[in-house]
Amino acid sequence: MKKRLGLILMLSTFALLLAGCTEFNEPIYEDSEGFWNKYIVWPLVSLITLFKELLGTYGYGIVAVTIIIRLILLPLMIKQTKSSKEMQEIQPELNALKEKYKSKDAVTQEKYRTEMQKLMTERKINPAAGCLPVLIQMPILIGFYHAISRMNSTPEIELGTFLWFQLADRSITLALIAGIMQFIVLRTGPAMGNPQMRMMMYIMPVFIIVIGTILPAALSLYWVIGNIISIIQNFFIYKPFKKEEEPVKQPAKVGGKRK
């Protein structure tokens, strides 16, 4: 049931993204047709415009809406990061199980799955708990990127500046800052204790820098503000500076006593 729900959500998200990406560089108006435009892109554009009227510039409007969106999503993101942390904590025990049942025959693999499920149940860990928040966040986060790009393509909207950055133009400097901030996010998060995720510490920042040098600086601004919030979140959840002080935990023994 959970797998089916996850598949449905994933397909729905993918369909929404496809529906929106076909108009990525087209103007956006209140009467723009389509579910993606009407219920995701235009409300975000309206919210940014509202804060622009309150704060004076689109740059401050983007910052304000970014903070609001991240605060709304914060419970989901905390749930996601806690799930990643829990999976990271039991990784030694999972590796021990994998070594114990390393034979690839069907009987051994069935025992491995049973023991793994038992371990997850005892620790009250749901491996899928970290996936659902991502699926819920994606339409909103991608929609925000989309809203900024569509605003930049709308003649009636002049994005203006934020500090000395022209938000409608590309900014290598802001893209570099966004990439560095992304590296810090990953450096203070679950990637530190997971060798398989460490590669992301190098791939994701480079990806963001490359994309940031192609797309309007307003998108890099969104990444910078969002990453600042993620770094603060990581410091409270993962406490990266305390990791070296904590004693190394010995992996718990798995399986019952041999008779």
What are the extents of the domains in the chain?
24-238
The percent helix, strand, coil of the chain (3-state, each to 5) is: 70, 0, 25
Looking at residue 193, its pLDDT comes to 55
The dihedrals phi and psi of 166, each to the nearest 5 degrees, come to: -80, 110
d(CA 246, CA 239): 11
Looking at residue 167, its pLDDT comes to 86
What residue has token string 């040098």? Answer: 213
CB 69 within 8 A of CB 61: no
How open is the CA angle 74-76-77, to the nearest 5 degrees?
Answer: 60
pLDDT along the chain (259 residues), means of 10: 47 51 73 82 91 91 89 77 73 80 77 81 69 66 81 85 86 90 80 59 81 84 87 76 51 46
Looking at residue 208, its pLDDT comes to 84
Looking at residue 252, its pLDDT comes to 46
Looking at residue 1, its pLDDT comes to 41
Looking at residue 70, its pLDDT comes to 82
Looking at residue 97, its pLDDT comes to 79
